[in-house]
Structure 1
Amino acid sequence: MIKRLYDWTMSLSAHPNALWALALVSFVESSFFPIPPDLLMIPMILARPDRAFLIAAVCLISSVLGGLLGYAIGALFFLQIGQPLLEMLGKGDAALEFNQRFNDLGFWPVLIAGLTPFPYKVITIMSGWTGMPLGTFIVTSIIARGMRFFIVAALLWKFGAPIREFIEKRLGLAFSAFIVLLLGGFAAVKLI
């Protein structure tokens, strides 16, 4: 099934309405779709480098809007189904403790998931489930997804096809290393 979804997503990059297809894929990926929009965005930018930043902007806006759907899924379905079930099982307090720990981290979970290969949809749903402040969620989503999509767009615009393999295979690792270094820097400053 994933292979069919992947092939379908890739075929959209050549479609006359590819920008709308990208918006749809980016929107649904932020809440439930398993294929990242990068797979559609990269061939579109390679085909039309003059539209690289427009393509990144469409990805950003659609992704954040899709993230709001994920947030709503977490907020609405947890309150109606998840919380009563956990309370029935005697785990209501454990869920509240997890919610508090998640929200104590502030914007970090959203930033990390928005930049790294970690599935962003998991964090969008968890953000709604834990009651993360909506403003924090939106601003952090814009920063994280904006950085991710615009860095990819800038690299492809500047270097074209030769940078594609780096983006597809190593950019997630580079973003992850950046986050580890950033968190390590904050931890070191706290210790000093």
Structure 2
Amino acid sequence: MFEQLTQFFMDYGIWGLFIVSFLDSFILPIPPFFIQIGLSLIEPESALRIATLAFIGSVLGAPVGYILGKWLGKPILQKILPEKWTALATEQFAKNGDAAVLIGSFTPIPFKMFTVLSGVFNYSIVKLMLFAILGRGLKFYLIGTLFYLYGRHAKVLLDEYLEITLLGIAVVVAIIWFIWNRRRKKRNQK
């Protein structure tokens, strides 16, 4: 079924990718990167245009996930989890939401989890959008640039190095965020 859905959207080309990227931000189980890679393999010279449409769709879908989390997520969460767990999760998301959203926007973890949870835990939609732009842009344009520069050979590079590269970037971002957050707290204490 996953392959059939992917092929269905591939048949619509870049507009299928745009729709998948939009829906991936809040509900669809198909990551847009499979379609982005497939389209970039077919037309490497258009890889940056393909990345741009995927990026725009993903960023436009982020507020939809946020609103769904705000409207539906909290009532569902309150029925499933004890109040103290919900309060703890809200507190933790308030403390570490910046890192979670930024890192989650370009790791293999489904982006919809972060957009919906941002709404559930009343995370700042402005920060969500900022980190979505940074993280999703980094991921889509990394893939697009590889195909633009290396053509079809980029697929080999992605197969071998994408996950480790994204994990490495996530670690670097986490370290930078940790240092920045500690400095900010020290300044606030003075």
Aligned-partner SS, 2:105:
helix
Instruction: Determine helix, strand or coil for the equivalent of 1:160.
Output: helix
Say whether residues 1:161 and 2:156 are aligned partners.
no
1:112 deviates by: 0.9
- SS of corresponding position for 1:33: coil
Which position in structure 1 is the counterpart of 2:186?
none
1:180 is matched with which residue: 146, 154, 171?
171
Equivalent residue letter for 2:67? A
Runs of 5+ unmatched residues, structure 2: 184-190
Residue deviations 1:155-179 (CA, integer Å, cap 9, x gap) = 0111111221332453122111222
2:111, 2:22 → 1: CA distance?
A: 11
Moved segments of 4+, more than 6 Å: none
Greater shift, 123-132 or 158-167, is seen at 158-167
* 2:131 aligned partner: 140
- Which structure 1 residue ranges, 5 or more long, are not aligned? none
* 1:40 matches 2:31: no
Q: Deviations over 1:76-99 (max 9, x none)?
A: 01344433x26xx7x223312211
Q: CA separation in 2, counterparts of 1:162 and 1:30?
A: 29
CA distance in 2: counterparts of 1:19 and 1:186, whole angstroms:
34
RMSD of Structure 2 on Structure 1 (CA): 2.2
Q: How many residues are treated as equivalent by the alignment?
A: 182
TM-score, length of structure 2 as denominator length? 0.85
* Per-residue deviation, residues 2-54 of structure 1 (Å, max 9, x unmatched): xx2223313543x3x41211111111111121221111111212222232211
Alignment of 1:6 onto 2:3: yes
Query: How many angstroms apart in 1 are the aligned matches of 2:173 and 2:13?
Result: 36
The one-character-per-residue Cα deviations of 1:71-123 (angstroms, maximum 9, x if unpaired) are: 1111101344433x26xx7x223312211211212421111111111111111
User: Is the Cα contact below 8 Å between 1:116 and 1:173 reproduced in 2?
Assistant: no
Distance 1:59 1:124 in 2: 16
Give the TM-score normalised by structure 1: 0.84
